[in-house]
Chain A
Amino acid sequence: MKLYIDRTRLRERILHDPDLDVEAGFPIRDVETLNMFLPRDLFVGDLAPAAEMTITFGTLIELARRQRKLTIEQLSEKARVDASELIAIEKKRSGYVPKPRTIHQLAAFLHLPEKGLMKLSGAVVSRDEKLRNAALRFAAKSAGLDKLTRSEEELLHEIVKCLSDDEATR
C-alpha cells in the first residue's frame, strides 16, 4: 500500500490544520466505567474503598440469589456465568474482580442496576461516598446470617434502592 498524498502537500496540510482533536470510534458514555478497562496496577489512587465495596457486592449477590431460592449452580445456569466466578464473588475473595460480562449478566438476571454493581464489584474505582457508606452498613448488618430474614430482605431492598437512586441521578 502507498500513501496517495505527496509528502510536501501533507506538510502543508499539517501546518495549516486547526489544533483540534481527532479521536473517533465507539464511545464511552459513562466515563466512570473507564477504570474497569485499565489494569489495576496502573491505578494511582487508593484502592481500599473499592476493596471494601467488593464485600458488599458478594453479600448482595448471595442475598439476591437466596431470595430467589437458587443454588449457586442454578444461578450460574440461569445467568450464564461460571459457577467458579459466583463462588469467588460470594466468598469475597480478596482482590477478586469479576469480569465485566459477569456483572452485566448478573445485573440483567437479578434486575439490579448495572452501573451500581460495577462500583460495588470493584471493577470501577468509585468516589461515591454515599454509596460506599451504604455498602458498608449493608455488609456489616448482613454478615453471618444463614437464612434470608425479614431484616435481610429490608437490607437488600435498601442497597438496591441506593444503587437505583445513584443511577437515576446520572
Chain B
Amino acid sequence: MKSLISVVDILDRLTKQFVEAKLYSGIDEANLADFEARWLPLLAEKLQRATPEELAQAQAQDARWNWRRKEAAWGHALSYQAFAVEADTVTQGLMYVSKHHHSRLPDHLGAPVIYVEAIATAPWNRPRFVPQPKYKGVGQVLIQAAISLSIEEEYKGRIGLHALPQSDSWYRDALGMIDFGADPDAHDMHYFELTGEQATKLIS
C-alpha cells in the first residue's frame, strides 16, 4: 500500500531552486511504469551506443534490477519495504530495504540494521550518466527514509548496504558510513554501515 510520508525539497540543478517532491512508502503501478517507460529506454540507449569502457562509466548496472520483479517478490513481504520519490509527477528515485539483516560492527554484532537492497535515482538525475543532471538530493531523501525507518523499528538509525563502485565515495565520505571494504560474498562490492550515533548526526 503506497502512502505519503512527507513532502520534501530537492534541488533543480538548472534553476538552482528547490522544488517540492513527495516521499512515499510503497510503490505502485505508476512507479513501475515510469521505470519501464522512462528509465529503461535511457539505460538501453546508453547501452547500445556505449563502448565497453563507457559502459563501465555509465552506471547502468541497475537496468538489471527489474523493479517489477522485485515488487512481485517483495511487495507483500513484511520484512521488505519500498520507497519512491516523485517530482513533476514522475518517479525520481526508488529504494527497497529489508529488515532482517544484522550489524557487522564488533560493538553491535548481531544488532538489527535496515539493509538497503537497492537504491537508484532516475538516469537523468545522475551526474555521471547525463552531462546536465536534473535533480539533486533524491538519494539523500531516500537514505533519510531508510534511517527514519530504522529509528521507527527501534534499530537506532542503523543501516547497511553494498554500494556500486562509483558510489563508494558518497557513502564513505559524504555520509560518513563505515567502509568494511570489498565483500567477497557480494562480488567485491564494499559493504557500508551507518551506526546509530552517525545516524543521529545525519538527521540533526
Residues of A within 8 A of B (CB): 1-5, 7, 9-11, 13-15, 17-29, 31-35, 37-39, 42-45, 125
- Which residue of chain A has its CB nearest to the CB of B16? A15
Shortest beta-carbon distance from A29 to chain B in Å: 5
Main secondary structure on chain A at its contact with chain B?
loop
Shortest beta-carbon distance from B111 to chain A in Å: 19
Alpha-carbon distance A17/B126, docked complex (angstroms): 14
Number of chain B residues whose Cβ lies closer than 8 Å to a Cβ of chain A: 75
Shortest beta-carbon distance from B66 to chain A in Å: 6
Shortest beta-carbon distance from B201 to chain A in Å: 11
A22 near B167: Cβ-Cβ < 8 Å: yes
Shortest beta-carbon distance from B20 to chain A in Å: 10
Main secondary structure on chain B at its contact with chain A?
helix
Alpha-carbon distance A33/B7, docked complex (angstroms): 38
A23 near B121: Cβ-Cβ < 8 Å: yes
Asked whether any CB of chain A lies closer than 8 Å to the CB of B198, the reply is no
Known: A21-B164, A38-B40, A43-B48. A14 touches B63 (CB 8 A): no
* Interface residues in B150-201 (C-beta closer than 8 Å to A): 151-152, 161-167, 169-171, 173-174, 186-187, 189
From the candidates B11, B23, B117, B189, name the one contacting A14 in the complex (CB within 8 A). B11
